[in-house]
A and B are shown apart, each in its own frame.
Chain A
Amino acid sequence: MVVFDEVRKIYGPDSVGIDRLSLNIEHGEFVFLVGPSGSGKSTFIRLLIKEIDPTEGTITVGGRNLNTMRRSKVPYLRRSIGCVFQDYKLLPGRSVYDNVAYALQVTGESPRGIKRKVPEILSLVGLSEKGGRMPTELSGGEQQRVSVARAFVNHPRLLIADEPTGNLDPETSIGIMQLLYRINRTGTTVIMATHDREMVDKMQMRVIALEDGRLVRDQRQARYARADEGPVGSSPAR
């Protein structure tokens, strides 16, 4: 689904985003991307949606080479990738329903298709009753659910979440995680960048750890920290 081959992204002489990163994420996987701030997680995600281009190396998403992809094709790439962000990135001044509908309008979906699909996805994320609300009238967790609904309404094969629980309390975070897990079970590849140690430890999924733009660990059914590093601040018996 996602292949990075010797990818480098250099912002400036002293600023390296990603350094010689090679990895392969299979279709249907659930992957945690971990690492301290500035380790290159955001760069990784921005490269995936071709917001920026790599300095060196090749990136392939869903069999499409991003290096040779023309600018005009980028919108179509993004429609095949759902994105969830820490700050939700909802369209202000639009109701929950309209925010989700926008992702469908963009693809040229018919009004009838929109009327059918939006309520469907809103009920999936548990917001059936709040379609008419404005984003500002919702709690953080609810806004993030709208964001997930919008990301998933086109049934993309890849869903990227950048610190989706970063602004949420633990209980609300679990709800969002369950949602992402369910989406993954439908066959969608999920890549989630996070700092949430507890969540990663609980889920026991593949963990890709970055540090200073370099891959330091890529482990299946893993925890946030390496076993021999010892748990920091959380009990090992979870």
Chain B
Amino acid sequence: MRLRVYVAEAIRSSRANVAISVAATVTVLIAVLLLGAFIPTFLAVQSTIDDQKAKLDISVYIKDEATVQQVQGLQNNIVGLESEGLVREFSYVSKDDALAILREQLRDESVLDELASNPLPASFEVLPVDPADNAQIVGQLEGHPAVHEELGVEFEAETTNRFLDVVTIVRWVMLGLTLLLLVAAVLLIGNTIRLSIFARRREVEVMKLVGATNWFIRWPYVIEGVLCGLAGAVVAVVLLLALKLGVVDPLSDATDSGLSDDGTASISFFSLALILILAGAVVGAVGSGITLRRFLRV
């Protein structure tokens, strides 16, 4: 019974203060829009980093003339490094495997049919625990009799280091952006709520004089906050969907058509929308509920 009174009050009140309701809704809309654009970006960057990190492996190329014993010995060395905790895992890639992998990576396989014989060497693909240890691993394996004289043990020291630097910078930038965004959203929402409560100071004062309990006064405002939060979040989600369908999806389709297929993980739009709408409602409710406290002490 009470709930009906509260909801009716909330709707009445948001109608009576259209300008402020709109301001609150738009504020939530902007905050949610930023958040909604940011979360997938953050996830994509993180996933790209992980992806690239996994590619920072060491290729130990084996010369075609190496004997079985020599290859066995090389493998034992790598197993040794694994037990020292430097190597996470390794795998043997035969000449045929190497060709198959290349074939998979190329969209146009016909170029391979031109080859008379398989020019690719067999190799051990060694994945370090920490790419920063690559130099040490390379030092231990280089010069082994089974290792290919020209190709040797390959890892791109410069690329690895640069990549690790970039990762660090990207992490900090992301963290900074997140904080900045959060602060901006909180200030924006807090300001709007203060504005709306200020407009209602007199109303709240009168309600208290008539003998309304704090919660009787507060519930309609909380519900109103939820409604504004929900409205803002829903509009933001619709805008995000439009952005995704209109801009992001065509773009990522375009990049996917390159030579390789990358499997960057991303959050599904549905769960993202759900999180954002929920966040909007919570921000609206908590915001108006808390700010009202100051004015209830009459």
Contact = CB atoms under 8 A, between A and B. Distances in A.
B3 interface: no
Interface in B185-217: 202-203, 205-214, 216
Interface in A74-126: 75-79, 83, 89-94, 102-103, 105-108, 110
B293 interface: no
Given A90-B206, A102-B207, A75 B212 contact: yes
Contacts of B5: 105
A89 B206 contact: yes
A150 interface: yes
Interface residues on A, range: 20 to 34
Nearest to A104: B210
Interface string B1-32: 11001000000100010000000000000000
B203 A103 contact: no
B254 interface: no
Given A89-B206, A105-B5, A108-B2, A78 B211 contact: yes
Contacts of A171: none
Contacts of B202: 92
A89 B2 contact: no
Given A51-B298, A93-B16, A105-B5, A75 B211 contact: yes
A102 B220 CA distance: 13
B208 A78 contact: yes
Contacts of A91: 203, 206-207
Contact of A107 (B12, B203, B211): B211
A49 B206 CA distance: 13
B209 A106 contact: no
A106 B210 contact: yes
Contact of B211 (A51, A89, A90, A103): A103
Give the size category of B's interface with A: 10 to 19
A151 to B, nearest CB: 9
Contacts of A92: 202-203
Contacts of A75: 208, 211-214, 216
Given A106-B216, A108-B2, A79 B203 contact: no
A77 B213 CA distance: 11
Given A93-B16, A105-B5, A78 B203 contact: no
Contacts of A103: 210-211
Contacts of B210: 78-79, 83, 102-103, 106, 150
A228 B203 CA distance: 46
25 contacts: A49-B209, A72-B213, A75-B208, A75-B211, A75-B214, A75-B216, A77-B211, A78-B208, A78-B209, A83-B209, A89-B205, A89-B206, A89-B209, A91-B203, A91-B206, A92-B202, A92-B203, A102-B210, A102-B212, A105-B5, A106-B207, A106-B210, A106-B211, A107-B211, A108-B2
Given A91-B203, A102-B207, A106-B216, 8 more contacts: A72-B213, A76-B211, A78-B208, A79-B211, A91-B206, A102-B210, A105-B5, A106-B211
Interface of B: 1-2, 5, 12, 16, 202-203, 205-214, 216, 298
Interface of A: 49, 51, 72, 75-79, 83, 89-94, 102-103, 105-108, 110, 150
